Amino acid sequence: MKPIFLYCILFLNTFVWTQNTFKINGNVKNINKKGVIALVTFTIKGFDKTIVTDSLGNFNFKITDDKINIKIEAEGYINYESDFKITEDTDLNIILKKNKKIDEIIITEDKRKTFFKNDKNF
C-alpha cells in the first residue's frame, strides 16, 4: 500500500509543477499598414525582456506566466503600453500612430578642417 501511495504523490507533483507555456506572436504596423521596426519590452513579475521586431514588424516570444505587460517603442511613433492576461497562444496586431512632437534635438559642432591663406591660424 505504501509504494502505491508514494507513486501517487510523485505523479501528482509532476502535474502541480508543470507550467503552461504560451506563445505570443505579434505585428507592429503604422496607420498605412506598413511594418515598423520597434523595441518590444515585456514585463512579467518585475522581470523585463526587450526584443526587436524584424523589418516587417513581426515579433514572437514564449512566456510561462498568464499576466504580462507589453510596451512597444518606435522612433517617430507614440509609445504603446498595455497589460494582458494570457490564457492561450495569442496573436497581437498593434498599430502605432505617428508622433508629431519632437522629444529631443541634438546639435553637434566640428572644428573646421580646411585652412585658407588669409586665415591667421594658417
Weakest mean pLDDT among 53-62, 65-74, 113-122: 113-122
Q: Is the pLDDT of residue 1 over 70?
A: no
User: What is the spatial distance between Cα 72 and Cα 26, in angstroms, rounded to a whole number?
Assistant: 11
For 12-39, the pLDDT digits (tens) are 555 555 568 889 999 999 988 888 888 8
How many residues make up the chain in this entry?
Answer: 122
Does any domain span residue 109? no
Domain range for residue 59?
19-96
Q: What is the CATH number of the domain that holds 36?
A: 2.60.40.10
Domain total of the chain = 1
SS3 content of the chain, % helix, strand, coil (to 5): 15, 40, 45
Does any domain span residue 27? yes
Does any domain span residue 51? yes
pTM for this structure? 0.63
Torsion, Cα 20 83 51 22, to 10 degrees, reads 20
